[in-house]
Structure 1
């Protein structure tokens, strides 16, 4: 089982860097520029992040943990509604503006795109146990694994739609889930 841990210090630094990227409208900043603006010594930055591209990872980890926590702890009900509200919790609400402004920047940066895809994969793996409990199936089953893959892919596609044409990511997520759900019981 894969779990996602969120280190609060790394998360605060990551959020500051993401806010700087959004403010400047680019990820093309040097580590020296970043550390000067966010007030973190270069040595501390490199202790938190192996590379500049990795500085977005804690924000992605937080979104994954928020989604997984929601799926694990929300009251029983429609799985479709649970997944939609989980998506809103991780990428909407108070972080919707950051989502709308940050992801186009991340998707244009090849190294950050790679970090994002890795985060989607880890998110998929870490979601399997919670979805298996909701579906009342074995976590090793194809059903649990395909359901998690569908949720992860629907998330990625919704964010790609946001970047490509400004589509509302929550609506796109719901549509992609619907398309994936044709083969998933109770989705």
Structure 2
């Protein structure tokens, strides 16, 4: 008997997550250039054929990790009350504020990937695609939230400010030795960037 569609979708999502987590861990330990797709597949407990059903390249395998709470970020904006700028500031705080050791470990695990962007053009392309896709989704959410259906430019500018604030905050944090909370943390830097890019 075939699996229910919901169960299949959950299993596919779990497999995708497992591959992404394995890729991120290997990249962090060995460096992107030293890791092969076959090693990632082996670490994730899947065949190489299965790996390529989910991702075209080893760099693309870390896209789910680099999304860094994008789904939660979009959900917060879509359900927010009040004006969009305030909702974006609140969402930055909620998504990037690290609460507890597990969250800190997860954030610190992303740091080597972000540092590798400088030297790996394919990984950098994945990062830019992740950010572009998020920007497009946020633009639609903002346009609907603010009633700006006929003013896409205005919605897009705010979406760009929001997305770039998070991107820049994470990149600057990764290049430093700052911790995951307090001064120099991803949340603090992203809030600062958003205030500069979208002043009140």
Q: 1:126: how far off?
A: 0.9
1:21 and 2:32 aligned: no
Gaps of 5+ in 2: 1-9, 178-183
Quote the offset at 1:25 in angstroms. 4.8
Relative to the length of structure 2, the TM-score reads 0.75
Worse overlay, 91-100 or 109-118: 91-100
Q: Please say if residues 19 and 41 of structure 2, whose CA atoms lie closer than 8 Å, have aligned partners that are also in contact.
A: no
Deviation at 1:108, TM superposition (A): 3.5
Cα distance per residue 1:55-107 (max 9 Å; x no partner): 01223446322211121124x25645532443355444324233334322344
Give the TM-score taking structure 1 as reference length. 0.79
Match of 2:6 in 1: none
Residue 87 of structure 2 is matched in structure 1 by: 82
Structure of greater Rg: 2
Q: Is the 2:72–2:95 contact (alpha carbons within 8 Å) kept by the matching residues of 1?
A: yes
Residue 164 of structure 1 deviates from its aligned partner by 2.6
RMSD: 2.6
SS in 1 for 2:69: helix
* 3-state SS of paired residue (1:160): helix
Q: 1:177 to 1:157 in 2, by over 3 A?
A: same
Distance 1:104-1:84 versus aligned 2 partners, 3 A rule? farther
Equivalence for 1:110: 121
Tell whether 2:185 aligns with 1:168: yes
Structure 2 vs 1, CA of residues 30 and 58 (structure 1 numbering), >3 Å: closer, same or farther?
A: same
Over 3 Å counting, the alpha-carbon distance change for 1:100 and 1:82 in structure 2 is farther
Which of residues 45, 68, 73 is equivalent to 1:67? 73
Count of aligned residue pairs for this structure pair: 176
Contact 1:150 1:180 in 2 (8 A): yes
Structure-2 separation of matches of 1:81 and 1:25 = 41
Distance 1:92 1:10 in 2: 25
Shift of 1:161: 0.8
Pairwise CA distance, 1:152: 1.4
Preserved contact between residue 65 and residue 110 of structure 2 (Cα < 8 Å): no
Q: Which runs of 5+ in 1 are unaligned?
A: 1-5
